[in-house]
Structure 1
């Protein structure tokens, strides 16, 4: 376990420098042999997946936000999105590298039959959104809740960081505010539709 942790720590350190290290480079930084590193991580994709999981697990204050959420669904989703953005902006280079690795995994599998492909992303983001929106369970149908959770998943996370920073040209603070505003606007739209006060989009 110590060797595995050392490899992940080394990979995270290199990724924060804006690099996308190979298994051999991570092994060198962790001061273990490449053969040992490959026993733990047979390919870069497996390493990047564990890096993302490890980075989130270490942010215990981030996960505790779900127990600390107060107010209505709009306030809860806003607090969750803001905490996520703050956490990811702290290590923006790392998260951009993780995104790059997931895109490469998609390209590597694009010619494989669907049944043989492995997921390129986890569903932590959707799980967080669903937990924050839990008070809406008695106000939205399961179908409406699923659509809202999926929609909120589009406006925060690393892809939203890329869009707000690179396309919109916003700094981290303004980008975070926009993510929060977008998530809360989606909650308001979902509630309006559920109450028959707004037409559903085509």
Structure 2
């Protein structure tokens, strides 16, 4: 068993538990504190603060988390699609999510960067929820056994770099490309990469 991966997965579950606890409290009409959310999530207040430095950062992520579909929802009717098309489906969902909520995503990125700076880059809690990883893992599931572990890991992580917020910002801010054109570029890159890895 990979202990480091196990610890990372546990930390991501803790982060998710805090968001779910906040969601339940807000849904009940409560304006919660970090302490309230920690108690609801069955973790210490100190643990909650390691994941979210303040309530605003937590509620900002919650507002976006509510809009993220489960991997199974994104790929619910994709059984007959190729791995490249399945990965492109994930890309399309994430691109649309960022494009429709750009300001919130940029604020979310700023919050995570500020947290990184405050800890000197040494936070023991994940700065992000890593939601794209299970999405892309499910997209690649049909071809998982056809490639070795090292190649699969490289492919998964390379796809993570090609989808969602960071790729969107690179193309819009650095390359000065409109989001619609950027979508076509990153979609092409995703499919090209998957097909190149899986070519006979």
* TM-score of the superposed pair, with normalisation by structure 2: 0.70
1:56-80, CA deviations, whole angstroms, 9 ceiling, x for partnerless residues?
3344488611212241011111111
Tell me: CA distance 1:121–1:2, structure 2 relative to 1, closer, same or farther (3 Å).
closer
Take 1:189 and 1:126, find their aligned partners in 2: how far apart are those partners? 20
Take 2:173 and 2:153, find their aligned partners in 1: how far apart are those partners? 29
Q: Tell me by how many angstroms 1:46 deviates.
A: 5.5
Larger radius of gyration between Structure 1 and Structure 2: 1
> Which of 107, 110, 126 is residue 117 of structure 2 equivalent to?
107
Tell me: CA distance 1:140–1:170, structure 2 relative to 1, closer, same or farther (3 Å).
same
Take 1:52 and 1:120, find their aligned partners in 2: how far apart are those partners? 11
Tell me: CA distance 1:37–1:73, structure 2 relative to 1, closer, same or farther (3 Å).
same
| Contiguous gaps of at least 5 residues in structure 1 | 8-29, 196-202
Q: What is the aligned residue count?
A: 165
Task: Please name the residue that 1:18 is paired with.
Answer: none
Take 2:34 and 2:103, find their aligned partners in 1: how far apart are those partners? 24
| Contiguous gaps of at least 5 residues in structure 2 | 1-21, 38-48
* TM-score of the superposed pair, with normalisation by structure 1: 0.69
Q: Are the equivalent residues in 2 in contact too, given 1:66–1:132 (CA < 8 A)?
A: yes
Task: Please name the residue that 2:26 is paired with.
Answer: 5
Once superposed, what is the RMSD of the aligned Cα atoms? Answer: 2.9
> Which of 172, 189, 192 is residue 196 of structure 2 equivalent to?
189
Counting only pairs closer than 5 Å after superposition, residues 97-176 of structure 1 correspond to structure 2 as 97-110=107-120, 112=122, 117-176=124-183
> Which of 66, 69, 89 is residue 57 of structure 1 equivalent to?
66
